[in-house]
Amino acid sequence: MKERPDVNDLSMDTGVQQMITKARDEGIETAFDRADKMKQCGFGSQGVCCRLCLEGPCRISPTGNGPQSGVCGANIDTIVARNFFNNVIQGTASHAEHAREIAHALVETVAGHAPYTIAGVDKLKSIAQGLGIETEGKEVNQLVKEVTDKALEDFQKQEGTLNWLKLKADQKSYQTWENLGLLPENAHAEIAKGMARNVMGADADPANLLMGTVSMGLVDGFAGLHMSTDLQDIMFGVPKAVKAQYRLGVINKEKINISVHGHIPLLADKVVEWARKLEDEAKKVGADGINIVGVCCSANELLMRKGVSVATNYASQEMPIITGALEAMVVDIQCIMPGLQQVAECYHTELITTLPYSKISGATHVEFTTEKADEAAKEIVMKAINNYKNRDSNKVNIPEEVTEAYAGFSTEQIVEALANVNPDDPLKPLVDAIANGDILGAVAIVGCTNPRKRQDQYNVDLVMELIKNNVLVVATGCSAHSLGKFGLLSPDGLKYSGKEMREVLTAVGKANGLPALPPALHMGSCVDNSRIADLLTALANYLDVGIKDLPAAGSCPETHHPKALAIGTYFVASGVDVHVGVNPQVTGSELVTNVLTASKGDFPITTDELFGGKIIYEEDSVIAAQKLIERIKMKRKALGLK
């Protein structure tokens, strides 16, 4: 029998190691075990498998020794391009639906049908003005209605382009996209058209498919990321810097523990509200109170607006259940492992799904709608309270480690922090630090963790190499959680930073009443990659250059989800180099690989030439960091910076 990997090889987090050992001792299979058992398909990992019709499945031999086209005649380049396009469509659909859900919730709120309030009035006015809406003398509810009308237009308009693209795009990128005919009309039409293009017998030109993929990336960026973030800021308020805790030690043995997991914050926000309202009910059953902890991007949303602590990130999402002290795990959509229910059945934890189009067999379902948000949240919290009596103390084992971190660095918060250094010209301190080389450049660490890679290690290693070389890091999603677990979202993390950047971040921190800013700034959830784009746009406009000219890049060291490819496509189209540390499954086609990565090949047009950004595929995080630094230095040189 094959020996299972040592737990130390599966995760950098000692608490997760402890829980994997506990699970194995109790005969429970986790994602790490399943990843070890599941052999990856060599054809699929290169993107050369096609199962888009019933003539197949067909697979092309990338070595040239087997079939070189499918039954229909599609060649290896077409098949790989279509598969990549399909991944980006899936990721875009996830983010666009997120945005549409928030828009719908705002509509219901101002109509008096949903129990939310509008917390981000200043953001509302800013977005309204950017959309060309007159704000003077209008009530908040009227402005929300007009803004959401514009948002929902982006899912149905039949001419022109996305309102949010016109609102948020930097002009130099916009001009490039317009010249190439890549501007999308509306999110739903582009997603449907993309699916139609990819069926057997439709679009078979790999170059055309890749340009369609870029258009899809723009839908993701503007109708997904930007719209979601802006509307959530209107609903819940713009995040401010907060201090909280990370790791499994945030689960409290003396309290009723509820984990919120997923991406859309509408229900998670209400669960926090009702947990506070029902504290006395918890004490009636013998608990000290109710403790909410976060997993994945719901964790990011609650962390930066409510100060809710984070238990863990994607790959180890089963571990809070394995502590034996979790009364309920509440999930909505995206990144929810179906295997959670199998683990929950081994403990008293109740897994609760909440959306009609995202259920798990065997889990409890509490239907969530914006109209019934309070009722659903109250029911969920009461289920957890009533489940407390079923906890088996003999199964409880909670890791002790916790790490302090700062989070919630929205674009507005970063500008506000810089304004405390230079009130008249807030961006100048950052621009000056980049110009004189104290900060070499910036890299966004985004995306996930993947059970096939040692959890957190690749995210952390890459950031350690970057900050050592005075590269400022901003972080979102589960990658941000990796950094939070290991002290890189804390001023203490500056001990790993280069001296010059340490001095800059210390000065800015002290101007804001902190010992220093962290070397990695937590900017939010996956959709909040839009905040990174906003910051880049502000810097590009300040310097009167394109985003493609800035010494900035992105990295996704441990990703697992098609959403990361959609996000990456958007940023590449904006002129930003994007590193991926997990096989993007395009290597079967030299043409597709060359277009996306600007590697050697005969195809003359690449994304680097068209947009100024490319994909860098490198599994070794230290080597990847060095490649990103070289690209940053190249862009610095082009700007005339030392």
* Last residue within a domain, chosen from 370, 395, 420: 395
C-alpha–C-alpha distance, residues 130 and 241, integer Å? 25
Residue 406's beta-bridge partner residues? 243
In a domain, 72, yes or no: no
C-alpha–C-alpha distance, residues 124 and 140, integer Å? 8
In a domain, 277, yes or no: yes
In a domain, 586, yes or no: yes
Starting at the edge strand found earlier in the chain, the sheet holding 242-246 runs 364-365, 350-353, 328-331, 256-262, 290-295, 310-312, 242-246, 403-407
For 11, which DSSP code?
B
One domain, residues 546 and 606 = yes
Confidence at residue 2, expressed as pLDDT on a 0 to 100 scale: 66
The burial class, CB within 10 Å (0-12 / 13-18 / 19+), for 356 is: exposed
Burial 504-528 (b: 16+ CB within 10 A, else e): bbbebbebbebebbbbbbbbbbbbb
Three-state DSSP string of 626-638: HHHHHHHHHHHHH
Which pairs from 382-386 meet CB under 8 Å and 24+ separation? Answer: 382/278, 382/281, 383/327, 383/328, 383/350, 383/352, 384/256, 384/257, 384/258, 384/290, 384/327, 384/328, 384/350, 385/256, 385/278, 385/281, 385/282, 385/285, 385/287, 385/290, 385/327, 386/285
One domain, residues 354 and 458 = no
Identify the sign of the CA torsion 4, 16, 445, 450: positive
CATH of the domain at 373: 3.40.50.2030
In a domain, 69, yes or no: no
One domain, residues 88 and 146 = yes
Q: Is 260 helix (H, G, I), strand (E, B) or coil?
A: strand
In a domain, 59, yes or no: no
One domain, residues 212 and 353 = no
* Last residue within a domain, chosen from 395, 428, 458: 395
The beta strands (E) that lie in 247-315 are given as 256-262, 290-295, 310-312
C-alpha–C-alpha distance, residues 577 and 561, integer Å? 19
One domain, residues 278 and 341 = yes
Residue appearing with tokens 């941000």: 480
CATH of the domain at 94: 1.20.1270.30
The burial class, CB within 10 Å (0-12 / 13-18 / 19+), for 226 is: buried
Write out the residue range of the structural domain in which residue 556 sits.
405-638
Confidence at residue 565, expressed as pLDDT on a 0 to 100 scale: 96
In a domain, 588, yes or no: yes
Three-state DSSP string of 610-622: HHCCCEEECCCHH
In a domain, 574, yes or no: yes
Q: Give the chain's domain count.
A: 3
In a domain, 23, yes or no: no
Give the residues of the chain that fall short of pLDDT 70. Answer: 1-2, 600-604
